[in-house]
């Protein structure tokens, strides 16, 4: 399973030192981008090899993340038809503080959903999906 780690910064928090809820999806995106680069979905210049558009997001907040917390984000990914589903477990000291999901698909210039190409579906078949987290 893919893991991404980062430390929370003061600018991501409110006056009580708690991370603002809008940053949770940013953390997930950081983890997703690193996963995409490592799996050659993005190249080294962050140019899309397989263009995926976010079509849905969900976040379940369990406990607050605070300034200075060492955050670990576990990522799993699969596809269902034309949709690519990323799920995330955000953890501090091994305990879940949030769970999230982003759903993506390829679209054309008229916003019509396109099929995933064979390279992408082959890559996703290799990924381990342990259980549904959200």
**Interval 2-27 mean pLDDT:** 96
Q: Under a CB-based contact definition with an 8 Å cutoff, are residues 107 and 53 in contact?
A: yes
**Interval 33-53 mean pLDDT:** 78
Is residue 94 assigned to a domain? yes
Is residue 65 assigned to a domain? yes
Question: Could you give the CA distance from residue 46 to residue 117 in angstroms, rounded to a whole number?
Answer: 19
**Interval 105-117 mean pLDDT:** 89
**pLDDT band with cut points at 50, 70 and 90 for residue 111:** confident
Question: Could you give the CA distance from residue 94 to residue 134 in angstroms, rounded to a whole number?
Answer: 17
Concatenating the DSSP letter of every residue in 2-43 gives EEEEEE--GGGB-TTSBBPTTHHHHHHHHHHHHHHHHTTSB-
Is residue 132 assigned to a domain? no
Predicted structure pTM score: 0.91
Q: Say what the pLDDT of residue 44 is.
A: 66
**pLDDT band with cut points at 50, 70 and 90 for residue 47:** low
DSSP, res 117: P
- Considering its fold, how many domains does the chain have in total? 1
pLDDT > 90 in the chain, percent: 76
Is residue 64 assigned to a domain? yes
Q: Say what the pLDDT of residue 65 is.
A: 98
Is residue 131 assigned to a domain? no
- The mean pLDDT value of the chain amounts to 92
Is residue 81 assigned to a domain? yes
Domain hosting 14: range is 2-126
Is residue 6 assigned to a domain? yes
Is residue 116 assigned to a domain? yes
The pLDDT tens digits for 51-67 are 789 999 999 999 999 99
CATH classification of the domain holding 13:
3.10.129.10
């Amino acid at each position: 399973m893919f893991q991404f780690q980062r430390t929370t910064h003061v600018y991501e928090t409110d006056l009580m030192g708690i991370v603002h809820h809008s940053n949770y999806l940013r953390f997930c995106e950081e983890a997703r981008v690193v996963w995409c680069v490592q799996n050659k979905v993005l190249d080294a210049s962050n140019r899309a090899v397989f263009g995926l558009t976010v079509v849905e997001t969900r976040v379940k907040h369990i406990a607050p993340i605070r300034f200075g917390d060492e955050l670990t984000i576990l990522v799993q990914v699969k596809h269902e038809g034309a949709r690519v589903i990323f799920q995330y477990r955000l953890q501090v000291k091994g305990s879940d503080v949030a769970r999230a999901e982003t759903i993506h698909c390829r679209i054309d210039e008229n916003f019509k959903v396109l099929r995933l190409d064979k390279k992408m579906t082959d890559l996703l078949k290799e990924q381990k999906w342990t259980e549904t987290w959200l």
